[in-house]
Amino acid sequence: MNKETLIKQGGIWVFILVELAFFSIAGEFLSVTDVAFMDYGNMLLLLKQSAPIGIIALGMTIVMINGNIDLSVGATFALAAIVLLDSMTWPFMQALGDWAIPLAWLFALLTGTVLGAINGLIVWKTGVDAFIVTLGAMLGYRGLVFMYNGEQPTSHLNWTLVDFAEAQFLGLHTATWFLLGAALVLWLVMTRTVHGRNAYAIGNNREAAVNAGIRVGPHFLWNFMLIGFLAALSAVVFYSESGSVNPNDGMLYELWAITAVVLGGTKLTGGYGSIISTLGGVIAIQLLRKGLGHIGADTETVNLVIGLILIAVLFLDRQLNRRGKEELKT
Amino acid sequence: MTDQTPALRLEGIVKTFPGVRALDDVSFAVMPGEVHALMGENGAGKSTLMKVLGGIHQPDEGRIFIDEEATVMTSPIQAKARGVVFIHQELSLADELSVAENIFLGELPRKTLGRVDWAALYARTDDILGKLNVGFNARTRVGELSIANQQMVEIARALTVDPRAVIFDEPTASLTDAEKVVLFDVIADLKARGVGIVYISHRMEEIFKITDRISVLRDGQYRGTLNTSETDEDEVTQLMIGRSLDLSRNHAHAELGEVAIEVRGLSCGKVYRDISFSVRRGEVVGFYGLVGAGRTEIAETIFGLRDPDAGAIYLDGKEVRIASPIDAIRHGISLVPEDRKGQGLVLGMNCRDNMTLPQVDDMTSSVFVSERAELSIFDHYKDKLDIRTPGWRQTVGNLSGGNQQKIVIGKWLSMNPKLLIVDEPTRGIDVGSKAEIHNLIRDLATQGYAVIVISSEMPEVLHLADRVVAMHQGRIVREFTAEEVTEDSLIQAISGIGGNGAAQADVTAQDAGCSRPH
Amino acid sequence: MAELTKSGVAGVLARQGILIAFVIFMVGFAIANQRFIAVDNVFGVIRSSAILGVMALGVTFVVIGGNLDLSVGSMMSFSTIVVLDLHDKLGPALAIPAMFALTLLLGAFIGFLVGYLKLNSLIVTLGMLSAIHGLTLTWSGGKNMDIADKSGTWFGFFGQGSVMGIPMPILMFAGLAAVLGIVLARTPFGRKVYAVGGNGTAATFSGVPRARVVFTTYLLSAFCVATAGLMQASRSMGSQNTVGQGMELEVLAAVILGGASLLGGSGTIFKTVIGVLILGFIQNGLLLVGLEFYVQYVVTWTIIILAVWLDIAAKRGRLWSPIA
């Protein structure tokens, strides 16, 4: 690994360390509680809270490595959540007792996958840019969310499910296991499988990939289905515990997910990025949220700081990637 | 060779696009173990022919034979499967991926669950790289390789199949001399193995050095095939351009005006060093050198697109600082850039708006752009330069290369420049337009303009220039007057032969680039 | 496979598709419900589209210049909150210019980052979406902002007043559209915006100050946002911190619907106004025929995809994408 890749891939972890150090020290002076910032329970909770955006961000990484983007994940998240909770109230599902749970999960995951497939098919068949396709879908899917149950929240609490969601295995919460599990699988997919390597090739040089016989259209379709599936998985993880979904839930999730992916160093133009770094980006954001809360800053500061950090990262990345002085002044 | 069957044969290929007969009854054949040059002006149909061969375009008529077996090409992959592979001028590699992944792009060996079979991948890659004798391994990231090595990756990719014919499209465009030697070795090796090779290039020296036969296209038509050993450059050129383009040598003019621009000791990091020259009014100075010699970069500096880290520019005897194209334009400098589509034109804009863009601020009546003033400029240069367009509303992207170039030239002539710099003024332009543009440049000099012509075509430089500045690796190695310059001396100068080797070492030792303001 | 020729019926349909769809929509709804084309209803639609419309005017400049602006929604919340807060502290006569100055400052900051530092506009404005939201919350302390004495101020004029029977929001939208339309179509600056968005490098090579042009498009966008914020604040005399949330994407949808390419270099103010009106009339028409407001989201989705699809289909001469 040369110096350049080291800086690129190590950057986010250094940033996390800096955050940890900063909030630990600043917390000594400013914290409203006596609990140390790097408290074990606190860190476990942090991982759990990272899961919903984190799982979506993993999918976003793959889509962005392809050179695409998905702005509709927030709405997909909400619709999958509604299907999850509502399906458990269907008569035949209730008759199944706790066996309704896996079935409800299946319905929710299927919903996400189908919504992703719709985006993927449109991108493939019409050739309209993914940004526009998913921008439209963001509105459209949100419309479907509202059409499902009007402006009312959809609620259903299943205590078996809640117990499962709140369980801890080897100290980690269920949601954390889902996040780490998804990250592991996707990391293997991106580094070890033909599909993953093709994803990089397509984002890197699409024309070359096409000429080499990689079928770009179906490839995109798979990845949009994957991100739809992951948005639904995120909903499954989150709403199993909370049991109630508002039609506006998941709004701006796409922006948070993109922020995490960009912090993790994935290139907007495609062809470069890593699942593990995205995980770092997700944790960095969550650390910042928690850390600022820990030192007594209000929630508003979080938005401000994350926004500015995102811009700063972009600036640093540009400075690093610049051809230096031989560049033309255009 | 005559008793053999051709490795690749084309017969009566016709391809038309709306309004253009791009290929008109083209036939030629490549024998196994033959290096066959395909030559023609830009726009003669070479690239269309290659796209037909590669299955990107389907021919309207005609047939393709591989080993005398009729074949229909439907895609590059299928062409490759039939043993026809391409080494493209613009490399088609994914530079974030490894050498091995690039070589087997689209056909990575698989294990269960869609996993990549890395062991097989690296074994097969090492096998191929072994044949090519290269200095990098299968795991290297392609982005870290030099251009020449990236080209080797492309060639390695061709060897994943047992090729019947390999088509090289301008392979030496960005190679150093040492790298060319390696490339020619590889070609010789392929040739020895009985592969038919199609070699597309504009560089006569190379063509005469490595090819066995030369086929020529002109205006989409096949013009004949010559045995390389029995012909010469003149005959080939004659075939290529149909009539002889007047490229008679220029002779310096007796009367020259004042010095319009003088450059002293200009340096820009590794890009160029210690550049000094001057141009008088009424004079055309040609800059000649290989791609990457620093000519374009000097023009860009004079036009305010690069900041030099040393040296000074004097206009009419006064030192000026040119920090941006806006400054340059204010000082009466115009640049017709090298890359017409990327730098010269806003392709989606209409002809008129493109032409008046640099002076749109001055074309106002009160606060609005005066369409009348714009049209009068457009009409003037449309007539003067004989720009063929249905009207000013035509989107520039729809014009032919020659007409596009005339729009760019018109744009800069309309600024009434003191100094006009033209970089590769006739690249990709048909012969007719080429002659017109040549005449125009000579006329401008006669009218008292100071002109700098940068060109990679020696006949063009010799035809146009009153003085020739020869560059090699960022240095001016010699300046010739029109009287003293000869083709041999010019080639030697730009190749660094007999030049100052010490100076070159000096340039490469500079690792800092020229600074741009932070 | 459908071959579309540029001169054929299909070509016309594809190029003017959005206008044709608009007309069909209007006729359909008019038949379904007479009220749809009643003058007061039409006025009502334009009036309620005006805030979105004013924002879309500014974003049109940014998009033609080859960039994106995702921060307009949260910037609009900012200006609304700021002007409401300052109204009670400084009085309307000072509050309005102060709010404009602050909003323009934000626009200048974005313009500096995208224009002069050449950072990717999608990410910069995404970051600013979040940052400005934080700024707004800090300013308001997270609380809703209300004008104390709602009847004792002339501040409501911009949102509720009217001149010669025409509501102020419509006048401001129309006035700004006319002025900016002329700026874009007829001035040297407008020409440069097209050049920079069409081919930034070629524009630089022609002496167009690319950074300054991009910078100015963001200033213009901020100006429009400030105007929209003023209209919003004036109409409601009180506001939440999230009043503009999500509008950035609706605004973008209107601009794209109008036919501006996200690649830059194409689009007009007139087309954007059409895009805005289409969104407004769809919403209104669906409400009038008794459908809920959220049905318009689904309809808008369909229309955006169809509009962009037909547009690129006409350009490439075939309906389906050539992607394998």
Give the pLDDT confidence score for residue A151 in this predicted structure.
Answer: 84
For residue B207, name the pLDDT band (cuts at 50, 70, 90).
confident
Tell me: ipTM over 0.90. Answer: no
Cβ partners under 8 Å of residue A236, min gap 6: A80, A84, A105, A108, A109
Question: For residue A169, is pLDDT > 60?
Answer: yes
The count of structural domains within chain B is 3
Contact A304, C129 (CB under 8 A): no
Among B210, B241, B272, identify where a domain stops.
Answer: B241
Assess whether B423 and B402 both reside in one domain.
Answer: no
Question: For residue A3, is pLDDT > 70?
Answer: no
The predicted model gives B167-179 an average pLDDT of 79
Distance CA C127, CA C133 (A): 10
Assess whether B34 and B177 both reside in one domain.
Answer: yes
Assess whether B368 and B500 both reside in one domain.
Answer: no
The predicted model gives A262-283 an average pLDDT of 91
Give the pLDDT confidence score for residue C304 in this predicted structure.
Answer: 84
Question: What is the least distance, in Å, from the CA of B194 to any CA of chain C?
Answer: 34
Better-predicted residue by pLDDT, B482 or A193 = A193
Contact A246/C at CB under 8 A: no
Assess whether B265 and B250 both reside in one domain.
Answer: yes
Between the alpha carbon of residue B517 and those of residues A69, A329, B297, B323, the distances in Å are 35, 10, 17, 10
Better-predicted residue by pLDDT, A58 or B113 = A58
- Average pLDDT of chain B to the nearest whole number: 84
Assess whether B320 and B429 both reside in one domain.
Answer: yes
Contact B109, B116 (CB under 8 A): yes
- List, for residues B472-490, the tens digit of each pLDDT value: 888 999 898 888 888 778 8
Half-sphere exposure of A125 (CA within 13 A, CB side): 9
CB contact under 8 A, B76 and A208: no
Most confidently modeled of A97-106, B212-221, B403-412, C97-106? Answer: C97-106
Distance CA A139, CA A144 (A): 9
Question: For residue B2, is pLDDT > 90?
Answer: no
The residue type of C207 is: G
Distance CA C207, CA A90 (A): 67
Contact A148, A86 (CB under 8 A): yes
Distance CA B270, CA B507 (A): 6
The predicted model gives B39-53 an average pLDDT of 80
The predicted model gives B285-309 an average pLDDT of 89
Domain C9-316 falls under CATH 3.10.450: no
The residue type of A18 is: V
User: How much of chain C, in percent, has pLDDT values that exceed 70?
Assistant: 94
Give the pLDDT confidence score for residue C319 in this predicted structure.
Answer: 84
Question: For residue A322, is pLDDT > 70?
Answer: no
Better-predicted residue by pLDDT, C28 or B275 = B275
The residue type of B332 is: G
CATH number of the domain encompassing residue B487? 3.40.50.300
Contact A241, A258 (CB under 8 A): no
Domain A51-314 falls under CATH 1.10.3470: yes
Most confidently modeled of A28-32, C230-234, C262-266? Answer: C230-234
Nearest to A326 among B97, B113, B271 (CB): B271
Between the alpha carbon of residue A237 and those of residues A247, B417, C101, the distances in Å are 17, 69, 45
CB contact under 8 A, C208 and B363: no
The predicted model gives B418-443 an average pLDDT of 83
CB contact under 8 A, C195 and B348: no
Contact B87, B158 (CB under 8 A): yes
A-interface mutation test, from B50, B99, B102, B105, most A Cβ less than 10 A away:
B105
Distance CA B76, CA B224 (A): 27
Among B416, B444, B472, identify where a domain stops.
Answer: B416
CB contact under 8 A, B345 and C192: no
Give the pLDDT confidence score for residue C16 in this predicted structure.
Answer: 67
Q: What is the DSSP letter of A2?
A: -
Give the pLDDT confidence score for residue B1 in this predicted structure.
Answer: 45
Distance CA A69, CA A273 (A): 13
- List, for residues B233-248, the tens digit of each pLDDT value: 778 877 876 655 566 6
Q: How many CB atoms lie within 10 A of CB B69?
A: 10
Better-predicted residue by pLDDT, A317 or A82 = A82
The predicted model gives A286-301 an average pLDDT of 82
Domain ranges of chain A: 51-314
The predicted model gives C157-169 an average pLDDT of 88
CA angle C289, C295, C300 (to 5 degrees): 110
Assess whether B32 and B75 both reside in one domain.
Answer: yes
Question: For residue A324, is pLDDT > 70?
Answer: no
Contact A300, C134 (CB under 8 A): yes
Could you give the residue ranges of the DSSP H alpha helices within chain C? Answer: 9-15, 17-32, 39-64, 72-90, 92-111, 121-140, 157-160, 168-186, 188-198, 200-205, 210-236, 247-257, 269-288, 295-316
Give the pLDDT confidence score for residue B501 in this predicted structure.
Answer: 41
- List, for residues B437-477, the tens digit of each pLDDT value: 888 898 888 888 899 999 887 888 888 999 999 998 889 99
Give the pLDDT confidence score for residue B503 in this predicted structure.
Answer: 41
Residues of chain A contacting residue B112, judged by C-beta atoms under 8 Å apart: none
Give the pLDDT confidence score for residue B511 in this predicted structure.
Answer: 39
Distance CA C322, CA B75 (A): 13
Assess whether B191 and B259 both reside in one domain.
Answer: no
Between the alpha carbon of residue A246 and those of residues A74, A80, C198, the distances in Å are 12, 12, 43
Residues composing chain B: 518
The whole domain housing B499 covers: 245-332+418-518
Distance CA A115, CA C301 (A): 13
Q: What is the DSSP letter of B141?
A: B
Give the pLDDT confidence score for residue C294 in this predicted structure.
Answer: 85
Assess whether B16 and B125 both reside in one domain.
Answer: yes
Give the pLDDT confidence score for residue A295 in this predicted structure.
Answer: 81
Assess whether B411 and B423 both reside in one domain.
Answer: no
Residues of chain B contacting residue A197, judged by C-beta atoms under 8 Å apart: 97, 101, 108, 116
Contact B259/C at CB under 8 A: no
- List, for residues C249-274, the tens digit of each pLDDT value: 889 989 988 888 888 899 999 989 98
Question: For residue B255, is pLDDT > 80?
Answer: no
Better-predicted residue by pLDDT, C224 or B291 = C224
Question: For residue B502, is pLDDT > 60?
Answer: no
Q: What is the CA radius of gyration of chain B?
A: 25
Distance CA A271, CA A264 (A): 14
Better-predicted residue by pLDDT, A104 or B20 = A104
Give the pLDDT confidence score for residue B250 in this predicted structure.
Answer: 67
Nearest to C134 by CA among C240, C224, C241: C241
Residues of chain A contacting residue C131, judged by C-beta atoms under 8 Å apart: 303-304, 306-308, 311
Longest CA–CA span in chain C (Å) reads 66
Phi/psi class of residue B337: alpha, beta or left (left: φ > 0; alpha: ψ in -120 to 50)?
beta
| Percentages (nearest 5) of helix, strand, coil residues in chain A | 75, 5, 20
Distance CA C271, CA C151 (A): 38
Distance CA A55, CA A234 (A): 6
Distance CA B34, CA B191 (A): 6
The predicted model gives B410-414 an average pLDDT of 93
The predicted model gives C122-140 an average pLDDT of 91
Q: Is residue B504 part of a domain?
A: yes
For residue A143, name the pLDDT band (cuts at 50, 70, 90).
very high
Q: Is residue B1 part of a domain?
A: no
Nearest to C195 among B305, B357, B363 (CB): B357
Assess whether B225 and B151 both reside in one domain.
Answer: yes
- The kind and range of the H/E element at B364 are strand B364-365
For residue B251, name the pLDDT band (cuts at 50, 70, 90).
low
Distance CA A251, CA B120 (A): 46
Q: Is residue B2 part of a domain?
A: no
Residues of chain A contacting residue B307, judged by C-beta atoms under 8 Å apart: 329
Contact A190, A62 (CB under 8 A): yes
- List, for residues C39-72, the tens digit of each pLDDT value: 888 888 898 899 999 999 999 999 999 999 999 9
* Burial class, C291, CB count within 10 angstroms (exposed 0-12 / middle 13-18 / buried 19+): middle
Assess whether B43 and B177 both reside in one domain.
Answer: yes
